[in-house]
Structure 1
């Protein structure tokens, strides 16, 4: 045998090896370093679980927007660390550099054999390797080409061949579009030097991609868009020519990836000066400035003077977003949550709901306001969950140096607490809001105006809400989602300051020295932070349900609309508020007028309260998984903080039930704050219990309870946010049915002239429920008595 024949025989035996093959092991130079860097890339556990589930049902094909060896290695690495389906092949991507030495050598020899002896190269488009792997239930990686606008024959042929495979396979093929992000830098219209040299962060240039990844590898993450079931896609497109169906599939996959990117980063961000220029050029503002100048001609204020004043207001208001500050905040807040709090409990289903909405329309986050931490919390949660962060409306009291500068760079814009009478300022702010929405940027504002000092929801303010609705009316966006969000704390860091203000002390102005003094906060623990998402209000559909179109409403009708939307939002926040052990224990400690309560009696009360809240199907803190331990921990912290005193605990012979918790009058307000966090859940039963207890006889007419219930709601209409999903009579019926099921009353039926009978220990068991609002009734009684006394004439001081 000649030497040439021997070589030919040997190379033929090698077989066909593919440059796109991915192997679980590697031994290329510095492979250990590459693995270490790739190990920082994250994928949400829920996403990983979904990919594993798809793999059990069918075959997973990962779809990347661009050719990328780096992104392919990331997916392979995650398959080992997180158990997602392992890709064994990158179709159309040369992975030779990353293959084990022996495999790489075989690939080279295989290709040389074809070139020398067959005079052909392996055509990856017509090669059946992807087909055979898919039929063998193996996962692969394909790429889609940078843009759906330009045809890409290689990509389209690949997708067409996958359709051929699907026609012959009983198992569905799931094409999973994958977005791999390196950090959270928004794209900007103004080009930086790095962007000029290397292109934007998602550019196809490998050098830019590697440099960006190395800079932000600890922030890199994999996000899966909605997978496409190829069998269902082909069935839905039955009758459409194959070429067109392939184009539609490619376009949909690219759109999915682009939507995920927009969800995370938001639209391309204009500079602060560009935004200010857009506001000043807004036709509505220009017309308003011209009218203002005409009115003030006597004061010699021309249009240019008015415009300069508008520009001054914009300098005061406008945000100046910079990702560097956001990245710094991410590190600071991660440290904060683990050092003064015991973590953040996030409504994952609610976050998923926000992600889906953000793909369809701009959104406005509207949380309750309990602490200065609120400003930072939601942005942090959004950042961690790969959702574009909102631009946050903050009061000018937070614009003090240096924090104001930092907040502005982090996405805050500042507005005055009151600008009544300053029409130009109001118009400038309104037009700024409109421009932000027109740019597709999410917003966040606190509908209560300021932080709640009492722990309960404050009546809504309508200023910013009206500006947002006006911007929608002026077609700033085709639709808009208003998303109510509950933020709650086991304990707030401003507790002491709130109590001082409620005691009559003036509110202290925020300043940098207070931040420095706040270092002592780091020596305390404040429990957990909770975030829940309420049902969003889609503005387009909500306004369509109104009796009159928005454009036809007069001022009074508009005010009524703002009021309805405002109350709908705060009710939605109340409905998803979290019951914490601190709040429930505070309610139990305060439900009687006396200064002390025994451990056993407190336990009975808390079990009764917990049972009622379970009946209402409210959201409980996760710590209630071990209810007794959670309550014991709350009591321990209250004791350590000096809010309560334990008497009898020192005596070892004493039974636990004989321990008495004593409340200092000076500390009741601390506990009152946390009781108020959940008081709205108890209002219906408190009103009914109070009505029953005002009648000395055991037989009570239901009509009397209905009348009292309506009276209490009228009396406290400016004090509490009531749940209006049921009418008053239905609410009373529901509460009476609950009390009857617990043996406190008997004889209740749905007849109009029905009576109830208080049974056994019914009055004793109703007292804690009625006691929850006793302090409010006393306060109103004192005020009414005082007003009556003052009406008799002037009094000496």
Structure 2
């Protein structure tokens, strides 16, 4: 990296605003703290706490519900009393409760668990103080990232710690079926929503009116996960718009003057579900939520999980956001509000907003030392065909990569001694990574040979046991690579394009942008890349690539690659598994989708093709097997016009547009070529450590 451009102080963030809120809990009485007088800050300061019964009454008395019941009575030929009974049942299913005594006791349990399993719970206290100072006059929506089931609990715990009213959080109805746990979540302000309800007009009306009442009449923040579900890969998911549109409708229709949305990121040094997620990505379905399953999972609490980071982003005022978008909301001023659905223009604005929220979550994420360790080990595999590295080499590479990714805008929790940080990270992840007596760092085998898997429930191809043995730990490691990719994706896309220039190695800026646009379109769903931001993000990528000497301007005004070969290789390598999976998918579609084929058949065949390519050495990373990645590939190919999606009843089918598909496939074949590996990849010779780790 060139010394004259290595540092960009405006980009390098730090951890100064963060505070470990577990520190005092380790030295004072948990019981006295949890039973303290608690007077929380509310979204509306001069009102009493949200009364769940008043919310139910508001729904029952809403004009929209009455109109819907009137319509359905005519359609179904039933009396209103029948439908109101159905509404009461739905409200009993949906409705939250607020039992502060339950909140306190769960808070005590959570404190004990966190102190046992986590070294620190780091919260950006400066951001919290700023948020509290602005609370009291405007409804607030919390929009946290979703990486673990622990997100629910941590949000409530942080709010209790800082005396903020416990949020009313939207939870999947699956949790209701869990004996005891469903009741406890409800008593801690969870309200429940079905996974699918677009075809049920009555339920949709009841639920949307419940959300409207929480926004307009509630005094607690409303919390929801904009990604819709936990990200099994630790990358951001393409945002869902349904709940957000419900929550914003009161503002867009003029019922309230403003609403504040707070993007929140919760980052984990290590997550509880790391192994479960690896199996899910390979097609093994998750166990059904149950209390017994939760109790079994408690065995994992004997292990250490390092640090957790929570950061609250800059609140988004919807009134100011609309002004910045030059959007007019006076269109609902004529006629009854409850009869006016949101317009296409409003839904388009909500889509832009949802991507803005996800981007804000990414920008305030924190990378732990192990995230950097994972990137370096992964790069070593793709460059040299092995994970094994000497600890001294790993420490040196982490120190180098830290300077790179901070230049790209990431916040990295390494202060002072890099060696100490790396050793602590390896200790936290000793179930996945081992340090041998000779100082070598090696990946461990975590999949037991002969593990019984119910093939009838598989979502993909039945992978061989030998494949599973290598793929599971590699996907677990990839889980910790992925959070860094939000900062690397755009620079990596530009670098990948420039690696494949003509012999002259030079290109016009506009030509580079055109090629970047195409490749970006292929990975747009993988990294949640919004179309309208592509030019701005291209310019930002060029700026940081200039800082690290990957892109240079020639004397003739053209762009060419600089001499930072080491970083060029790493940036191309981080995208390799995604291009490899997409290539297998494209080849599968060309082969089997001359006629409409069901999605599961396509996914199974694509996984089978990747498995064969891993054995032959054509593909060098099992992340290409990920069903989430293949699903993103399908969405991208639909967007590019390379395939067509057809829905027949509940079944989704795909048909190939062979001409366009061939264009995409040729590009992918080029990008899959490895950079820096000068030998034949051998999947079978990849060694995993089988014994216990050395003491760190």
TM-score, normalised relative to structure 2: 0.71
CA apart distance, 1:551: 5.3
- Which residue, 261, 268, 271 being the options, matches 2:48? 268
Unpaired runs of 5+ residues, structure 2, are 1-16, 18-29, 333-341, 446-469, 606-696
1:415 has 2:217 as partner:
no
Measure the CA separation in 2 of the matches of 1:452 and 1:728: 24
- Which residue, 191, 196, 208 being the options, matches 1:430? 208
Measure the CA separation in 2 of the matches of 1:700 and 1:340: 53
Are 2:378 and 2:387, in contact at CA under 8 Å, matched by a contact in 1? Answer: no
- Which residue, 54, 73, 79 being the options, matches 1:293? 73
Q: Which residue of 2 aligns with 1:465?
A: 244
Are 2:490 and 2:537, in contact at CA under 8 Å, matched by a contact in 1? Answer: no
Relative to structure 1, is the Cα distance of residues 480 and 604 closer, same or farther in structure 2, using a 3 angstrom cutoff? same
CA apart distance, 1:570: 0.6
CA apart distance, 1:578: 0.7
Are 2:366 and 2:410, in contact at CA under 8 Å, matched by a contact in 1? Answer: yes
Q: Which residue of 1 aligns with 2:352?
A: 564
Where in structure 2 are the equivalents of 1:237-636 lying within 5 Å?
Answer: 262=42, 267-269=47-49, 271-297=51-77, 301-399=78-176, 400-441=178-219, 442-550=221-329, 552=331, 555-591=343-379, 592-593=381-382, 594-599=385-390, 601-621=393-413, 623-636=414-427
Relative to structure 1, is the Cα distance of residues 266 and 318 closer, same or farther in structure 2, using a 3 angstrom cutoff? farther
1:714 has 2:521 as partner:
yes
Measure the CA separation in 2 of the matches of 1:660 and 1:219: 47
Relative to structure 1, is the Cα distance of residues 604 and 747 closer, same or farther in structure 2, using a 3 angstrom cutoff? farther
Partner SS, residue 264 of structure 2: strand
CA apart distance, 1:353: 2.1
Where in structure 2 are the equivalents of 1:182-193 lying within 5 Å?
Answer: none
Are 2:374 and 2:478, in contact at CA under 8 Å, matched by a contact in 1? Answer: yes
Paired residues, what number?
A: 528
Where in structure 2 are the equivalents of 1:688-703 lying within 5 Å?
Answer: 688-695=494-501, 697=503, 699-703=505-509
Q: Which residue of 1 aligns with 2:545?
A: 736
Relative to structure 1, is the Cα distance of residues 546 and 747 closer, same or farther in structure 2, using a 3 angstrom cutoff? closer
Are 2:58 and 2:213, in contact at CA under 8 Å, matched by a contact in 1? Answer: yes
Are 1:688 and 1:735, in contact at CA under 8 Å, matched by a contact in 2? Answer: no
Measure the CA separation in 1 of the matches of 2:155 and 2:47: 19
**Cα deviation digits, residues 222-270 of structure 1 (max 9, x gap):** x9xxxxxxxxxxxxxxxxxxxxxxxxxxxxxxxxxxxx86469883135
Q: Which residue of 1 aligns with 2:536?
A: 727
Partner SS, residue 773 of structure 1: helix
Measure the CA separation in 1 of the matches of 2:225 and 2:57: 27
CA apart distance, 1:420: 2.1
Q: Which residue of 2 aligns with 1:27?
A: none
Q: Which residue of 2 aligns with 1:661?
A: 442
CA apart distance, 1:461: 0.6
Q: Which residue of 2 aligns with 1:756?
A: 560
Relative to structure 1, is the Cα distance of residues 406 and 266 closer, same or farther in structure 2, using a 3 angstrom cutoff? farther
TM-score, normalised relative to structure 1: 0.62
Is 474-483 or 404-413 further displaced after alignment? 474-483
CA apart distance, 1:336: 1.4
Q: Which residue of 2 aligns with 1:144?
A: none
CA apart distance, 1:662: 4.9
**Cα deviation digits, residues 616-664 of structure 1 (max 9, x gap):** 332222x4443221122223443x21x2455xx434xxxx5xx353576
Where in structure 2 are the equivalents of 1:188-267 lying within 5 Å?
Answer: 219-220=36-37, 262=42, 267=47
Measure the CA separation in 2 of the matches of 1:328 and 1:547: 48
CA apart distance, 1:681: 0.5
**Cα deviation digits, residues 450-490 of structure 1 (max 9, x gap):** 11111101110111101011122344432110100001111
Measure the CA separation in 2 of the matches of 1:326 and 1:475: 34
Q: RMSD of aligned C-alpha atoms?
A: 2.9
Are 2:62 and 2:209, in contact at CA under 8 Å, matched by a contact in 1? Answer: yes
Higher relative contact order (CA 8 A, sep 6+): 2
Larger radius of gyration: 1
Are 2:491 and 2:542, in contact at CA under 8 Å, matched by a contact in 1? Answer: no
Q: Which residue of 2 aligns with 1:26?
A: none
Measure the CA separation in 2 of the matches of 1:637 and 1:325: 32
Q: Which residue of 1 aligns with 2:25?
A: none
1:789 has 2:557 as partner:
no
CA apart distance, 1:275: 2.5
Relative to structure 1, is the Cα distance of residues 270 and 564 closer, same or farther in structure 2, using a 3 angstrom cutoff? closer
**Cα deviation digits, residues 330-359 of structure 1 (max 9, x gap):** 211111110112221001111112202212
Partner SS, residue 366 of structure 1: strand
Q: Which residue of 1 aligns with 2:486?
A: 680
**Cα deviation digits, residues 595-631 of structure 1 (max 9, x gap):** 224335544542332112221332222x444322112
Are 1:320 and 1:411, in contact at CA under 8 Å, matched by a contact in 2? Answer: yes
Partner SS, residue 229 of structure 2: coil
Relative to structure 1, is the Cα distance of residues 336 and 633 closer, same or farther in structure 2, using a 3 angstrom cutoff? same
Partner SS, residue 488 of structure 1: strand
Relative to structure 1, is the Cα distance of residues 270 and 685 closer, same or farther in structure 2, using a 3 angstrom cutoff? closer
Partner SS, residue 169 of structure 2: strand
Measure the CA separation in 1 of the matches of 2:416 and 2:554: 34
Is 715-724 or 582-591 further displaced after alignment? 715-724
Measure the CA separation in 2 of the matches of 1:215 and 1:729: 53
Are 2:139 and 2:258, in contact at CA under 8 Å, matched by a contact in 1? Answer: yes
Partner SS, residue 596 of structure 1: coil
Are 1:701 and 1:755, in contact at CA under 8 Å, matched by a contact in 2? Answer: yes
Relative to structure 1, is the Cα distance of residues 757 and 276 closer, same or farther in structure 2, using a 3 angstrom cutoff? closer
**Cα deviation digits, residues 393-444 of structure 1 (max 9, x gap):** 1111111221011111111101111112011111111111111122242100
